[in-house]
Amino acid sequence: MTPPTTPITPSSGSVLDEHRTSPGLLLALIGQEAMRRLRDAHTAHNLKPRQFQILGLLHDHGGLAQRDLVGTMGVDPSIIVTLLNPLEADGLVARERDPADRRRHLVTLTAAGERHLADASAAQKQAEDALFAALDTDQREQLRDLLLALRDGLAVDPESACSAVAETVRYG
Amino acid sequence: MTPPTTPITPSSGSVLDEHRTSPGLLLALIGQEAMRRLRDAHTAHNLKPRQFQILGLLHDHGGLAQRDLVGTMGVDPSIIVTLLNPLEADGLVARERDPADRRRHLVTLTAAGERHLADASAAQKQAEDALFAALDTDQREQLRDLLLALRDGLAVDPESACSAVAETVRYG
DNA sequence: TATTGTTATACTCTATAACTATA
DNA sequence: TATAGTTATAGAGTATAACAATA
């Protein structure tokens, strides 16, 4: 990525001025930056955001079939496979057949996976603190409340990928 | 994209509970959704977000060398080329040599480009209204102020792509 | 020699479909 | 036949390097 150099000061009176400071674009771009920073925190622990999310889900539920991950994360089964393979190779998760239904592969978090998740989680927390350094405690709470309201409003829309957001708001 | 099906209710008392509702992840995921909706609005007008951004910059400045777009948008020169080619083929922008420095290609917005930008801009505005439907006017202002503060805080950091965000907060 | 723009290449991410094994 | 998982393929997006034209 080429770093930005000479910024161009926008002229005034533009037809599009209102868009420049619109919450929608601010939200999209700042959200991108937030994701980038969280991703960097995860990359430092050799994890993609989706892999971090998987570890978190396994931590919470103790063991899930890949089909469950597909449903919860809203991601294609083939993607789940490519995400799990390196995790398994690194010994962070284990795959075993479900005795009750041998089609299902139960995925569980290993002890090493638990430790790794805790480490990555701490790194993510640190990245978030840096991200919100400009806001005081009250402002952070304000922002979180607004975002939660926004999220719930979006989740109502049935025909949007945002139901996935609403259900799996965690870990990036 | 496989649509999410059965959501898994998170167990309580998780080590990671706090992360789930953390503003950082909310911000990243809701921002993603915002970007997705804005992108859809642009796609309906046969534009990628970056192309919409280019049209907006040209509108504001009346004519820019590709190098200026590179600097402002923080995007590689080769990307600028691939973005401009279809715009020029569609007659939305024009490329001509800068007489003062024949290395530079001055890019300008055509009349058709102006009209197209106005249309796409209206569509974006509509998408934003839907995005923030859950918030009343006061809440929208609150959110915008918080995001602006956050943006300014991030812009201070010199070693981040966010300076590009700060300078070009517009059009996706 | 440095800069502007272009082309070519490769790598990542993801969407789709075909395949297997189990039910 | 339907479902869980896997593999293969193709497309978009982008990062990198090499190149042509101009300064």
What's B92's domain CATH number? 1.10.10.10
Cβ-defined contact of A128 to B23 (cutoff 8 Å): yes
Q: Is residue A160 included in any domain, yes or no?
A: no
Residue nearest to nucleotide D13 (CA to C1'): B79
Residue B8 with chain A: CB contacts under 8 Å: 57, 60-61, 64, 68, 71-72, 167
In B, which residues are within 8 Å of A169 by CB distance?
20-21, 25-26, 29
Strand D positions within 7 A of protein Cβ atoms:
3-8, 13-18, 21-23
What pLDDT, on the 0 to 100 scale, is given for residue B26? 80
Summarised one tens digit per residue, pLDDT across range B132-159 is 999 999 999 999 999 999 988 876 333 3
Whether B5 has a pLDDT exceeding 50, the answer reads no
The pLDDT, as a whole number, for residue A67 is 95
Contacts of B143 in chain A (CB under 8 A): 23, 27, 143, 146, 150
Count how many pairs of residues, chain A against chain B, have C-beta atoms within 8 Å. Answer: 302
Position B170 in a domain: no
**B81 belongs to a structural domain:** yes
Domain with B111, as residue range(s), is 19-135
A105 lies in a domain?
yes
Percent of chain B exceeding pLDDT 90 equals 57
Residue A143 lies in a domain: no
Please tell me the distance in Å from B7's CA to the nearest CA on chain A: 5
- The count of structural domains within chain B is 1
pLDDT of residue A155: 63
Q: Encode chain A (172 residues) as per-residue pLDDT tens digits.
A: 333 333 333 333 333 333 445 678 788 888 888 888 888 899 999 999 899 999 999 999 999 999 999 998 889 999 999 999 999 999 999 999 999 999 999 999 999 999 999 999 999 999 999 999 999 999 999 999 999 999 888 763 333 333 333 333 333 2
Q: Are B55 and B45 in contact (CB under 8 A)?
A: no
Under a CB-based contact definition with an 8 Å cutoff, are residues A120 and A42 in contact? yes
Nucleotide nearest to A64 (CA to C1'): D4
Q: What are B71-116's pLDDT values in tens digits? A: 988 899 999 999 999 999 999 999 999 999 999 999 999 999 999 9
Record the pTM.
0.75
